[in-house]
C-alpha cells in the first residue's frame, strides 16, 4: 500500500508516481477486480443492485482512480519513460475491459436484474446504469462466437495503440518545428505579447532574436498579425503538414497509414457486431437516431448557411482588392486579411482587447458569474500536490457550505504537454455501500501564454471563450447530484449532448453585464471602454457563417468517412475530404494541406462519427441560453432551473427529456441561427 496509486487519498499523489508504481498498481487493481467478480458470481444465486452493481461500481472506481492520473500525466507531462509504461499497460487494461464486456456470467446476472419484478422499483439512475451496462455488453461482442470475441479483443487493442501513436506523432512533429528570426523587419505586425514570449524562448536556447513555434498561441498570432506573407506561408505550411508525408521530417511522424489502419479496424469492428459501418455503431450511444438523421441535420444547416458564408468571403475578397490591390487571397493570408477587415469594419483589435483580459480578472469574474447564477462559491486551495508549479487547485461549494467537488486548473502552454484544451476527471460522484460519499475531481486544461516578468498572462477574447467552454464541462461533472458513478456527471451522457453545458457557458463572454465582471485593463484597472465594448459586440458574428461552414466541413468529413469508408478502396480520406469541400466549403485550401493527419478528435479522441455533436449541442445550448436572454443573463431562478434539470442529472435520463423539462418544449434550430446572425 506504499504505492502512491493505491492509497485511499482523496487526490492523486502526482509527484510520487514512478513508472514502476504504474505497472504494479495496474496489476494489483485488475487482479482484485477479477477476484471480486468471481466471488460475487460464486456466492450469489439471485442478483440485485446491492450484491452485484454496487460492488462492481466500487471496483471500477478503484481502477479509474489508478488509470486516470496515468493517462492524465501522459497528456500534460509526456516523457519517454511515461510513454513506455503507458504503452505497456494500455493493452493489459484493454484486454481486461474486453474480458469484462464479454463475461457471460456477468451479462446474465445483469439481465436477471432487468427481468426481475423489482427492476422498476429501482431509482431512474440505477435503472439507466443497468440498461447502459447491458447495451455496452452487446457492443463489446457478448453474443459473438469465441473466435469473433477474440478478434474483437485484438481489434480494440490495435486501435488503442494506433490512437496513442497518432497523438504522439502530432506532439513530436509539433515540438520538432521552430522558426528563429533575427531580423526585426521580418516580424512587423506581430503583437508585443507574442514577441515577448518568442524572445524569452530564444533566450532560453542561448539565441538573440525571436523563436516561434507551432504551439497554438504562437501560430494563431502569426497567422492573424504578421505582415510578412512569406513568414505566414512558411508557418501555415509547417502547421498544416504536421504528422504527414509533407513538410519537415517527411514520413518520420506520418499519420497517414495509421489513419487508414484505424478506419479499416473500425469498419471490421462494426461488421463484426452486425452494423453496416462504424457510424451506425457510433450512434447506438447517441441522441441521433440514424446516419440519415445526422446527414439531414448537417445538410439542412449547410443549406441555411452557405449563401451567407459565400457572401462573407466575397465581401472579404472585395475589401482586400480595394484596400491592398490583391486579387487572390491565399489560404495563409485569410486570417490576416480577415483581421484587417474586422478592424476596418468594427475598429476592433483582438490584441488591443487582450490588455483587458488579464488571467486573474477573467478567472475571478468567471467565479462571480457562477456565484450569481447558481449560488456557488469557489475557493482556491494551496497545499495540494500538483504535476507542475503553474497548476492551481480549487474547491466548489453550494450556498450552505457543502462541498460539491474540486478541480485542477492548468492554463499554460509548455513542452511535453499536448496542445488544445480539454476537461477530464479523476473521480466521479459515488456513494459507497458504507454510506461514505466520493466527490468529483476534474482537470481543466488549456494552452495559453504564461506571464512574462511582471506582466500577467493576458488572454485574447477567443481564449476567454475557450476557458468558459472547458469550465462548462467541468461544472457538468462537478455539480451532479447523481450518486451512481456510471451516470453521474458527464458519464452516460450521449456525446451529441455532452457539449451542451460547455457551449452554453460561452454565451456569457458576449454579454455586457458579464463582461464587466471578467474584464479590466491589467495596468490601470479601467473597465472595458464603452466604445470598445460596443465594437466588440458588433463584431460578434463577423464571418459567423464561414465558421459554421468550417464546422460543417469537419462534421461531414468525419461522418461520411465513417459511413462510406471501405478497406478495399485506396486514398479515401483525402477524396472524401475533397468531396465535402466541393459541397460546402467557401474557403480555399491547398492540395498539400494534411489537416486530417492532426484531426485528433476523430482519430485519437472520442469523436469518431460524432464530431457533428458540436453543432448538434450548439442548437441545444443556444436555445437554452435564449431563456436567460429573455429573463436576465444572471437570473438566479433560471440558473437554478438549469442546475436542477440539466447539470445535476448527469446521464441518469435521456438528454431530450432533461432539455424539455428545462425549456418546456423541444429545441429549435432558429435560436442557434439567430445567435450566429445567420440571415437565410
pLDDT one-digit tens code per residue, 29-42: 999 999 999 999 99
d(CA 121, CA 49): 11
Written as one string, the DSSP assignment of 351-365 is HHHHTT-BHHHHHHH
Catalytic entry in 359, 470, 499, 553: 470
pLDDT digits (tens, 9 = 90+) for 36-95: 999 999 999 999 999 999 999 999 999 999 999 999 999 999 999 999 999 999 999 999
364 shares its domain with 331 = no
490 shares its domain with 575 = no
515 shares its domain with 647 = yes
Domain end (from 561, 593, 611): 611
pLDDT digits (tens, 9 = 90+) for 477-524: 999 999 999 999 999 999 999 999 999 999 999 999 999 999 999 999
424 shares its domain with 368 = yes
Please state at what angle helix 216-225 crosses helix 192-204, rounded to 10 degrees.
Answer: 130
**Once rounded to an integer, what is the mean pLDDT over residues 389-401?**
97
70 shares its domain with 155 = yes
DSSP-based three-state secondary structure for 144: coil
42 shares its domain with 78 = yes
Verify whether residue 618 is a known catalytic residue.
Answer: no
Output the CA torsion sign for 340, 345, 349, 350. negative
605 shares its domain with 632 = no
CATH number at residue 584: 1.10.1370.10
* Residue carrying the nine cell digits 499497460: 89
* Residue carrying the nine cell digits 473521480: 427
Q: Is 661 left (phi over 0), alpha (psi -120 to 50) or beta?
A: alpha
pLDDT at 250 over 90: no
Domain end (from 138, 156, 171): 171
* Structure confidence at residue 499 (pLDDT): 97
118 shares its domain with 65 = yes
Domain count, the chain: 4
Quote the pTM value. 0.95
On whether residue 353 sits in a domain, the answer given is no
Distances (CA, A) of 352 to 191, 199, 219: 9, 20, 18
CATH number at residue 442: 1.10.1370.40
pLDDT at 679 over 90: no
Q: Which helix (H) or strand (E) holds 157?
A: helix 146-176
521 shares its domain with 633 = yes
- Given the DSSP bridges, would you call strands 178-181 and 210-213 parallel, antiparallel or unpaired? antiparallel
State the cell numbers at 363. 478567472
Q: Domain limits at 55? A: 14-171
510 shares its domain with 366 = yes
Written as one string, the DSSP assignment of 177-225 is -EEEE--GGGGTTS-HHHHHHHHHHHHHTT-SSEEEESSHHHHHHHHHH
36 shares its domain with 134 = yes
On whether residue 111 sits in a domain, the answer given is yes
Amino acid at each position: 500500500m506504499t504505492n502512491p496509486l493505491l492509497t485511499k487519498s482523496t487526490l492523486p499523489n502526482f509527484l510520487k508516481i514512478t513508472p514502476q508504481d504504474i505497472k504494479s498498481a495496474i496489476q494489483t487493481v485488475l487482479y482484485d477486480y477479477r477476484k471480486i467478480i468471481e466471488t460475487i458470481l460464486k456466492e450469489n444465486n439471485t442478483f440485485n443492485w446491492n450484491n452485484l452493481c454496487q460492488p462492481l461500481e466500487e471496483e471500477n472506481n478503484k481502477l479509474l482512480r489508478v488509470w486516470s492520473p496515468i493517462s492524465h500525466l501522459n497528456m500534460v507531462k509526456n516523457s519517454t519513460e511515461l510513454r513506455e509504461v503507458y504503452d505497456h499497460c494500455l493493452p493489459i487494461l484493454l484486454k481486461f475491459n474486453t474480458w469484462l464486456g464479454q463475461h457471460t456470467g456477468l451479462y446474465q446476472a445483469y439481465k436477471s436484474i432487468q427481468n426481475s419484478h423489482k427492476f422498476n422499483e429501482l431509482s431512474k439512475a440505477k435503472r439507466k446504469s443497468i440498461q447502459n451496462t447491458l447495451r455496452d455488453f452487446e457492443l463489446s461482442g457478448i453474443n459473438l462466437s469465441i473466435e469473433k470475441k477474440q478478434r474483437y479483443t485484438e481489434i480494440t487493442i490495435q486501435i488503442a495503440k494506433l490512437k496513442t501513436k497518432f497523438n504522439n506523432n502530432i506532439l513530436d512533429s509539433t515540438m520538432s518545428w521552430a522558426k528563429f528570426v533575427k531580423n526585426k523587419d521580418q516580424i512587423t505586425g506581430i503583437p508585443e505579447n507574442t514577441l515577448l514570449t518568442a524572445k524569452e524562448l530564444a533566450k532560453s536556447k542561448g539565441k538573440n532574436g525571436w523563436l516561434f513555434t507551432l504551439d497554438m498561441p504562437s501560430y494563431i498570432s502569426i497567422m492573424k498579425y504578421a505582415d510578412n506573407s512569406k513568414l505566414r506561408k512558411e508557418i501555415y505550411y509547417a502547421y498544416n503538414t504536421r504528422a504527414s508525408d509533407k513538410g519537415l521530417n517527411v514520413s518520420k511522424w506520418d499519420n497517414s497509414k495509421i489513419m487508414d489502419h484505424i478506419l479499416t479496424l473500425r469498419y471490421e469492428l462494426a461488421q463484426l457486431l452486425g452494423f453496416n459501418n462504424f457510424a451506425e455503431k457510433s450512434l447506438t450511444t447517441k441522441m441521433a437516431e440514424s446516419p440519415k438523421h445526422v446527414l439531414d441535420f448537417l445538410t439542412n444547416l449547410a443549406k441555411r448557411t452557405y449563401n451567407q458564408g459565400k457572401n462573407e468571403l466575397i465581401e472579404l475578397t472585395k475589401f482586400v482588392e480595394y484596400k491592398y490591390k490583391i486579387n487572390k487571397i491565399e489560404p495563409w493570408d485569410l486570417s490576416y486579411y480577415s483581421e484587417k477587415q474586422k478592424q476596418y469594419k468594427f475598429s476592433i483589435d483582438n490584441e488591443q482587447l487582450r490588455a483587458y483580459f488579464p488571467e486573474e480578472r477573467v478567472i475571478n469574474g468567471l467565479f462571480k458569474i457562477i456565484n450569481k447564477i447558481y449560488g456557488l462559491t469557489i475557493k482556491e486551495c494551496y497545499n495540494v500536490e500538483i504535476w507542475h508549479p503553474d497548476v492551481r487547485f480549487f474547491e466548489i461549494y453550494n450556498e450552505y457550505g457543502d462541498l460539491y467537488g474540486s478541480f485542477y486548473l492548468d492554463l499554460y502552454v509548455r513542452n511535453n504537454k499536448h496542445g488544445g484544451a480539454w476537461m477530464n476527471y479523476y473521480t466521479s460522484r459515488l456513494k459507497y455501500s458504507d454510506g461514505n460519499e466520493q466527490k468529483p475531481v476534474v482537470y481543466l486544461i488549456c494552452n495559453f501564454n504564461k506571464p512574462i516578468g511582471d506582466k500577467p498572462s493576458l488572454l485574447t477574447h477567443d481564449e476567454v471563450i475557450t476557458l468558459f467552454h472547458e469550465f462548462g464541462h467541468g461544472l457538468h461533472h462537478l455539480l451532479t447530484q447523481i450518486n451512481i458513478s456510471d451516470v453521474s456527471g458527464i458519464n452516460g451522457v450521449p456525446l451529441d449532448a455532452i457539449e451542451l453545458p460547455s457551449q452554453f457557458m460561452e454565451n456569457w463572454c458576449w454579454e455586457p453585464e458579464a463582461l464587466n465582471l471578467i474584464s479590466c485593463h491589467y495596468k490601470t484597472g479601467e473597465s472595458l471602454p464603452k466604445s470598445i465594448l460596443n465594437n466588440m459586440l458588433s463584431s460578434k458574428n463577423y464571418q459567423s457563417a464561414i465558421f459554421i461552414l468550417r464546422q460543417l466541413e469537419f462534421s461531414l468529413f468525419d461522418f461520411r468517412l465513417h459511413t462510406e469508408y471501405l478497406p478495399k478502396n485506396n486514398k479515401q480520406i483525402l477524396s472524401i475530404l475533397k468531396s465535402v469541400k466541393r459541397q460546402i466549403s467557401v474557403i480555399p485550401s491547398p492540395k498539400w494541406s494534411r489537416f486530417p493527419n492532426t484531426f485528433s478528435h476523430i482519430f485519437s479522441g472520442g469523436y469518431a462519427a460524432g464530431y457533428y455533436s458540436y453543432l448538434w449541442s450548439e442548437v441545444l445550448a443556444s436555445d437554452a441560453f435564449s431563456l436567460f436572454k429573455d429573463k436576465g443573463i444572471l437570473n438566479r431562478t433560471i440558473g437554478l432551473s438549469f442546475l436542477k434539470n440539466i447539470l445535476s442529472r448527469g446521464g441518469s435520463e435521456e438528454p431530450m427529456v432533461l432539455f424539455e423539462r428545462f425549456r418546456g418544449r423541444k429545441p429549435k434550430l432558429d435560436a442557434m441561427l439567430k445567435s450566429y446572425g445567420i440571415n437565410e
